[in-house]
Chains A and B, each alone.
Chain A
Amino acid sequence: MRVVALIKRILIQIFRDKRTMALLFVAPLLVLTLMSLVFNGNTVSPVLGVSNDNEQLIEKLELADIEVKHYDNVFDIKEVIIDNNLDGFLLMDENQTSLTLLNDDLSIAKSLEMKVKQVINQQKLLQFIGASAAIPNEAVTQDLITTNYIYGTGETQLFDTFSPILVGFFVFFFVFLIAGIGLLNERTTGTLERLLATPIKRGEIVTGYILGYGLLALIQTVIIVLFSINVLDIVLVGSFWNVVLINIIIALVALSLGILLSSFASSEFQMLQFIPLVIVPQVFFSGIFSIEAMADWLQVLARFMPLYYASDALKGVMYKGLKLTDISYDLYILLAFAIVFIVLNVFALKKHRRI
């Protein structure tokens, strides 16, 4: 009977807490829906630039689901690829065939490489058979095509393109939780109210929180980045300090968002409930899954996720070796997020003291 009493009490408590109920029943559906949307994206055709205007070849490539664009007089392949948003470039002249891959999204690069090689091999094979049947097959398939990479190498692992995103994610996640719970505790123990009975300004409280937890986030960031690079051997092409800088800005966004959302939570448990609502969706849009392949409205949604910009910036510096100026756009957006959240925080504290 005591067990029954316990069961009854638990159920009453949960039923009274509407938010927890909603989370229990609705949040999984939300996350599942997001997942299905993210995974069932259309496959986008890779875009390939070619120097050769052999119509037969272009037709074959297009049949293999490749969007082909023709460019004349190409000097700097890298520039052409980046400026025109290509996934690769196929250079063909009399004595060599070379494929340059952007290798930004590993899955796109791999499938493009495979398709191009297939088409070229078929093509060459036909030519050779026509010209001379004497050349052995093996020699044909080998060395027909050389592959170059703009980012990474042929040995690039999936984890290499993911790891910058993961570094940013963990910084975001832990700072979000710790700072949020920190302010929440201050509220539930009554110390916030006590604090507000002193001449401290609301802005000072928010600033103190941001700087205090920001310092912790700084240390955390340095440890995570050092460990990832030196122990886990994660690729770092760009500057270490830029990675730290990006992560500090990520931490700033996470801090201000965590503190802000904590004012909508009345217990640590309710704070944890923000994970499926705020953190999980961001993972889907951080670039681990190809955003280009998502429905248009989902791509728009991605632009409202701080981690989308964070991942772009981190991947830019760590994997592509971009400079700070190349990713400044991402950083400005992240800073804008942080500023908005900080200002909202100052207003949210008004709930506890009018002035």
Chain B
Amino acid sequence: MNEYVIEIQNVTKSFGEKVVLNDISFNVKEGRIYGFIGPSGSGKTTLIKLIVGMDSPNKGAISLLGEKMPNLNILQRIGYMAQSDALYTALTGKENLMFFASLFKLNKTERQRRISYAAKLVNLTEDLNKKVSAYSGGMKRRLSLAIALIQNPQVLILDEPTVGIDPELRLSIWNELLRLKTEEGKTIIVTTHVMDEAEKCDYIAMLREGSLIATGTPGQLKEQYGVGALDEVFLHAGRKIL
């Protein structure tokens, strides 16, 4: 078994003339939380999409769990949460969970078990029979997270999971992510542009205009740049490159 869960090697991606990701290399170890930090437009979502295999890089390669992406079978072991809530609003929360659960190889009892587990996890059990169109923004976000967890994936890839969520719920989502990491040994990648969330990650990769400007644990980065907070690291590292 490979040492790394995700290997990103010299990945370059451009859309037409515009280079969105420039020679990115990065490895992800099992059982940790990785944060991709960067302002909007820095290429975070593109990188996520390449990792999930929705798109393929122009140069370089990405492998997940030892398999070169894009690879459909690997998707069975990845939980993905997109930036926007991609939910069927005419269906109830439960129907949404059922639908996505059926797309994965799960037997019937397991499916039922996972649905109630995921719903409980994000605190939606009581609202499961409501239509999603009646959900609040936070409830939709939580349902999206539940869907990402539905097939009990080894790797979770969450694109801005806490955007537009109130502080209390954000805290509970983070507590859940930390629990998933420590108790279930899951590997988690989150993108965010909120620095205090970055502090909770085990390892950080800072992206700016398609390039990795700094990587390391929050402590290492702060030490390296001799600053007290991560947002200062970001400013310093960014200055260096510009």
Q: Which B residues contact A (CB, under 8 angstroms)?
A: 52-56, 70-73, 75-76, 78, 80, 82, 84-89, 100, 103-105, 147
Count: A-B pairs, CB below 8 Å: 56
Task: Assess whether A166 is interfacial by the CB under 8 Å rule.
Answer: no
Instruction: Identify 5 residue pairs between A and B in the complex whose beta-carbon atoms are under 8 Å apart, listed by A's number.
Output: A190-B86, A193-B86, A194-B147, A197-B52, A355-B53
> Once the chains bind, are B56 and A197 in contact (CB under 8 Å)?
no
A191 to B103, CA, bound (A): 13
A200 CB contact (under 8 Å) in B87, B103, B147:
B103
Residue of A nearest to B89 (CB): A189
Q: Chain B contacts of A192 at CB under 8 A?
A: 86
> Once the chains bind, are A198 and B86 in contact (CB under 8 Å)?
no
What are the nearest 5 A-B pairs in CB distance? Answer: A194-B86, A190-B86, A355-B70, A197-B80, A198-B103
Residue of A189, A199, A355 most packed against chain B (CB within 10 A): A199
Residue of A nearest to B105 (CB): A199
> Once the chains bind, are B87 and A197 in contact (CB under 8 Å)?
no
Chain B proximity of A207: nearest CB distance (Å)? 14
Task: Assess whether A195 is interfacial by the CB under 8 Å rule.
Answer: yes
A224 to B147, CA, bound (A): 40
Q: Which A residues contact B (CB, under 8 angstroms)?
A: 189-201, 352-355
Q: Chain A contacts of B147 at CB under 8 A?
A: 194
> Once the chains bind, are A199 and B73 in contact (CB under 8 Å)?
yes
Q: Chain B contacts of A199 at CB under 8 A?
A: 72-73, 75-76, 103-105
> Once the chains bind, are A191 and B70 in contact (CB under 8 Å)?
no
Chain A proximity of B237: nearest CB distance (Å)? 30
Knowing that A191-B87, A191-B88, A352-B54 touch, tell me 19 more A-B residue pairs with CB under 8 angstroms.
A189-B84, A189-B87, A192-B86, A193-B54, A194-B80, A194-B86, A195-B86, A198-B75, A198-B100, A199-B76, A199-B103, A201-B72, A354-B53, A354-B54, A354-B55, A354-B56, A355-B70, A355-B71, A355-B72
B103 CB contact (under 8 Å) in A193, A195, A354, A355:
A195
Chain B proximity of A285: nearest CB distance (Å)? 37
> Once the chains bind, are A189 and B86 in contact (CB under 8 Å)?
yes
Residue of B nearest to A191 (CB): B86
A354 to B54, CA, bound (A): 6
Chain B proximity of A183: nearest CB distance (Å)? 13
A189 to B144, CA, bound (A): 13
Q: Chain B contacts of A196 at CB under 8 A?
A: 54
Residue of B nearest to A200 (CB): B103
Q: Chain B contacts of A353 at CB under 8 A?
A: 53-55, 70
A194 to B100, CA, bound (A): 9
A198 to B100, CA, bound (A): 8
A339 to B107, CA, bound (A): 33
Residue of B nearest to A352 (CB): B54
Chain A proximity of B209: nearest CB distance (Å)? 24
A194 CB contact (under 8 Å) in B71, B78, B82, B105:
B82
> Once the chains bind, are B75 and A197 in contact (CB under 8 Å)?
yes
Chain A proximity of B44: nearest CB distance (Å)? 15
Q: Chain A contacts of B72 at CB under 8 A?
A: 199, 201, 355
Q: Chain A contacts of B84 at CB under 8 A?
A: 189-190
Residue of B nearest to A353 (CB): B54
> Once the chains bind, are A197 and B88 in contact (CB under 8 Å)?
no
Chain A proximity of B85: nearest CB distance (Å)? 8
Residue of A nearest to B87 (CB): A191
Chain B proximity of A111: nearest CB distance (Å)? 54
Given contacts A354-B54, A355-B70, A355-B71, contact A198 B82 (CB under 8 A): no
Residue of B nearest to A190 (CB): B86
Chain A proximity of B76: nearest CB distance (Å)? 5
Q: Chain A contacts of B82 at CB under 8 A?
A: 190, 193-194, 197
Chain B proximity of A333: nearest CB distance (Å)? 34
Q: Chain A contacts of B89 at CB under 8 A?
A: 189
Q: Chain B contacts of A191 at CB under 8 A?
A: 86-88
A192 to B86, CA, bound (A): 8
Residue of A nearest to B150 (CB): A198
A355 to B53, CA, bound (A): 8
A352 to B70, CA, bound (A): 12
